[in-house]
Structure 1
Amino acid sequence: MTAAGPGSVPPVAVAQQSLPREVYVLSVVGGCVMLGLGLVLPVLPVYAATFGAGPTQIGALVALFALMRLATSPFCGRLGVRFGERRVLVAGLLLCAVSSVLTAFAGSYGQLLVFRSLGGVGSVLFSVSALATLLAIAPADQRGRASAVFEAGFLLGGICGPALGGLLALIALSAPFVAYAVLLLAAAALTLAVLRTGRTAGAGPGRDVVRLPVLLRDRRYVVACLAALAQGWVLFGLRSALVPTVVVAWRHDVTWVGWAFTISAVVQALLIMPAGRVVDRAGRRSAMIAGTGVAAVAITALVFVDRYAWLVVLLSVYAAGSALLNAAPAALIGDVVAGRAGSGVAVFSMCTDVGAVVGPVVVGLIAERVSVPAAFGSGAALLVVAFVASGTLTTVRPTRRS
């Protein structure tokens, strides 16, 4: 692997400039998508149960969405090269909208499987294309802030969605799916109306293409992918799959799980914008080291926790590290790809999806056959690997054109 090139891991020492308008538009679009996803996720298991689905079938329904994302990711780069990221982004939003409407009017569990799989395809088309567009638009010395603004939309949508979904479900279990479709159509309309300026030319068809073997020889790219894998593993394997069972085992109601997740999400939302400024001003290397280090310490400490209050504290500490890891790896990918087309952003996204698909299964097996502390240790180990790898990055002085 080669060392980082000039201008690649920038500590910024220039006056702060305004972000391109398109960055905020992408954040709003992402917020709409995550708000809608938050509407349907809490309702989906209950909705599937009305078709006679048991726990295993419900689990398969949830897992299928992530599997379809993973299976579709390799094709996103080629589609972006041929049609441009903006068109692929809109196609993903529309496909998700169609999936959500069909889900609302599904007549059987089998139909639910098909319609949710379509949603997984649309989801990855949107997410990969949106991130590729963002990194193509944002100048090098603003990629940390731009990534933070982008993630802030997702975080706010994710915080508000579940509560609103519960209220809509009181009307009808299908109502959140219809509302999700409306939000997606609004997001598609906003994308078509605003992301048509010359600023998005860098994300259009006909761009220079960077091949995956070239990217894999760049240390920055590999480190960012390692961090993405660790994040996917911890967020979906440990936090989402293991923490709820631990809290219930402590004889707390599942409501306590929701409060723990909400508090940590609020902490992350409050810190995401400062984290973006740190990524641009202190540099990618410092942000990566701090983010992976704080996250690794928090997850390692969970091994020794047996009280709910300490669990909430450590999840909040992890959220602080995660705020940096939402901005820094994406900025690194932007530095490497530098607006060129190809599979770079898609493979980066796949690393998170691999962690999200494999993590819950492996973590569950470790918890059952070894111990729960060992399961937490698996996530801590991945974060430590990313931490050590982050220390090999090179810090250099930035330029706006780098």
Structure 2
Amino acid sequence: MSTPVKVRLPPEIWVLIAAAFVIALGFGLVAPVLPQYAREFGVGIAAASAIVSAFALMRLLFAPASGRLVQKLGERRVYLAGIAIVAVSTGACALAQTYWQLMVLRSLGGIGSTMFTVSSMALIIRVSPPAARGRVSGVYSTSFLLGSLLGPLVGGALAGLGLRAPFVIYAVALLIVCLIVFVGLRESPVLATDSATAAPELTFRQAMSRPAYRAVLLTSFAGGAAVFGVRMAFVPLLVVEILEQEAGMAGVALTVFAAGNAAVLFASGRLSDRFGRKPFLILGSAICAVGTAALGFAPTMPWFLAASFVAGLGSGMFTPVQQAALADVIGTRARGGPVLAAFQMSADLGTVLGPIVIGWVADHTSFEVGMTVTGAVLAVSAALWLVTPEPSRIVHHEDPAHPDHAGDGIDPQCTCDGGPADAPVVRDGMAPTGRRAGYGKSP
């Protein structure tokens, strides 16, 4: 095995990673107080919960439009506009006088959130060196996780300021992020090509013809259903109703899951650049499947915490790597707004459907069966990757590091994955030229 080449990350990456940390920190600051804030307007529990659902629903519904905006306006404009919309709508939440005003403002925030999410993925892909995509995804995911964990802690420290204060603080932080990103990316030589040349577009139909993209969508859906949907909905119920523990222990279980996640997020992304995406996508999904299913059979709290940690380890192994695999599919130069939007929608759809479907299963059978079915969805995702070609071996004719033209311009006769519609597609890592598919490295 050849020694991996150390790739220096461009400064744009660190700007985006810092922005992600602040955004996650602020979201973790606002999310815990939102239902309680809604209750201040005299509504019931269901109505207060609907405020959270409205945000998620607008993210899901507006994702296709966000993809088209990225395609037409470019990543930076949509990114900045999305953050600005979330900042203004969040700040206005602090001034809301009625429940319905709060509902409308959070819905607008959901629209801005999906604009930010889709465009940030696009920006990360555009500025990431192809040989360091896994490493970048690992760092980015880790920064987001740390921000999410610290947010509630900061919120607890600021509890004395009242329920409206977190919205104002988050809004100000987002406006600062918007300014930093604008300045940090304004002179980017990587993104300057947007105005100089027409970036090739990757349509959803083209992406769906690639096995790796279909597998990424399933992994994204499975992760959304199991990690963000069923786990968040069922852990409190399992802890209180089955294990007969205090409600606070549910928070401990969620923290243990996050600890398992954080333990491997960065390493898995980095190592996938050297060993390929498939080992981590297969093993991570399988481990998360076992840990998730084990939650339903836990007889004691220590067992439950151990299962949570195992599930977190598995999730941490496949989460950043699936994003790197998505970048492998799209390539460095192409714009794939609808492709990215579908990736986000698959996770959001899993998050919405997971608790509903598994809740119905648990009602008609048991928690054990419900959690086993959830684990089975992850296992199916792992099985699909067994028969899917390695994504990191895909070659894009427009990539600047392509071995046939090394950034000297796009060769219209290039026969690589992502090339002309009638061009042969890379299969099993072997480019039609006879070279080993890659990014300019010797076979």
Q: TM-score, normalised by structure 1?
A: 0.93
Q: Which residue of 1 aligns with 2:74?
A: 84
Q: Which residue of 1 aligns with 2:56?
A: 66
Q: Which residue of 2 aligns with 1:244?
A: 236
Q: Does 1:212 align with 2:204?
A: yes
Of 256, 264, 275, 1:271 maps to 264
Residues 332 and 102 (structure 1), Cα distance of their counterparts in 2 relative to 1, 3 Å cut: same
Of 296, 302, 305, 2:298 maps to 305
The unaligned stretches of length 5 or more in structure 1 are 1-10
2: distance between equivalents of 1:386 and 1:122? 30
Q: CA deviation at 1:32?
A: 0.8
Of 182, 187, 206, 1:192 maps to 182
Q: Does 1:350 align with 2:345?
A: yes
1: distance between equivalents of 2:365 and 2:168? 43
Q: CA deviation at 1:211?
A: 1.2
Q: Secondary structure at the match of 1:305?
A: coil
Structure 1 segment 112-191 matched on structure 2, within 5 A: 112-191=102-181
2: distance between equivalents of 1:234 and 1:198? 40
Structure 1 segment 216-227 matched on structure 2, within 5 A: 216-227=208-219
Render the CA deviation track for 1:183-205: whole Å, top value 9, x for unaligned: 11111111101012112246679
| Conserved 8 A contact 1:132-1:203 | no
Q: Which residue of 1 aligns with 2:227?
A: 235
Farther off after superposition, 336-345 or 105-114: 336-345
1: distance between equivalents of 2:298 and 2:284? 21
Q: Which residue of 1 aligns with 2:326?
A: 333
2: distance between equivalents of 1:87 and 1:163? 32
Matched AA of 1:39: L
Residues 222 and 313 (structure 1), Cα distance of their counterparts in 2 relative to 1, 3 Å cut: same
Q: Which residue of 2 aligns with 1:26?
A: 16
Farther off after superposition, 194-203 or 291-300: 194-203
| Conserved 8 A contact 2:211-2:389 | no
Render the CA deviation track for 1:46-99: whole Å, top value 9, x for unaligned: 111111121111221111111100001001221112111011001111100111
> What's the RMSD between the two structures over aligned residues?
1.8
| Conserved 8 A contact 2:93-2:102 | yes
Residues 22 and 109 (structure 1), Cα distance of their counterparts in 2 relative to 1, 3 Å cut: same
In our comparison, the structure showing a higher alpha carbon Rg is 2
| Conserved 8 A contact 1:229-1:355 | yes
1: distance between equivalents of 2:285 and 2:263? 19
Provide the aligned length of Structure 1 versus Structure 2: 392
| Conserved 8 A contact 2:60-2:349 | yes
Q: Secondary structure at the match of 2:202?
A: coil
Residues 377 and 203 (structure 1), Cα distance of their counterparts in 2 relative to 1, 3 Å cut: farther
Matched AA of 1:198: P
Q: Which residue of 2 aligns with 1:370?
A: 365
Q: CA deviation at 1:267?
A: 2.7
Residues 141 and 398 (structure 1), Cα distance of their counterparts in 2 relative to 1, 3 Å cut: farther
Q: Does 1:75 align with 2:68?
A: no
2: distance between equivalents of 1:136 and 1:203? 10
Structure 1 segment 101-116 matched on structure 2, within 5 A: 101-116=91-106
Q: Does 1:14 align with 2:8?
A: no
Identity fraction in percent: 36
1: distance between equivalents of 2:352 and 2:290? 24
Give 1 or 2: higher helix fraction: 1
Residues 276 and 244 (structure 1), Cα distance of their counterparts in 2 relative to 1, 3 Å cut: same
2: distance between equivalents of 1:400 and 1:149? 22
Residues 105 and 169 (structure 1), Cα distance of their counterparts in 2 relative to 1, 3 Å cut: farther
1: distance between equivalents of 2:310 and 2:146? 19
Q: TM-score, normalised by structure 2?
A: 0.85
Matched AA of 2:218: L
| Conserved 8 A contact 1:298-1:318 | yes
Q: CA deviation at 1:300?
A: 2.1
2: distance between equivalents of 1:316 and 1:202? 44
Q: Does 1:45 align with 2:35?
A: yes
Q: CA deviation at 1:401?
A: 5.3
2: distance between equivalents of 1:369 and 1:159? 35
| Conserved 8 A contact 2:7-2:131 | no
Residues 292 and 217 (structure 1), Cα distance of their counterparts in 2 relative to 1, 3 Å cut: same
2: distance between equivalents of 1:139 and 1:124? 25
Render the CA deviation track for 1:135-170: whole Å, top value 9, x for unaligned: 111122211011111111110100100111122232
- Identify which of structures 1 and 2 has the higher relative contact order when contacts are C-alpha pairs closer than 8 Å and 6+ apart: 1
| Conserved 8 A contact 2:145-2:262 | yes
| Conserved 8 A contact 2:238-2:296 | no
2: distance between equivalents of 1:111 and 1:34? 24
Q: Does 1:360 align with 2:335?
A: no
| Conserved 8 A contact 1:43-1:166 | no
| Conserved 8 A contact 1:97-1:184 | yes
Render the CA deviation track for 1:315-335: whole Å, top value 9, x for unaligned: 111111111222111111111
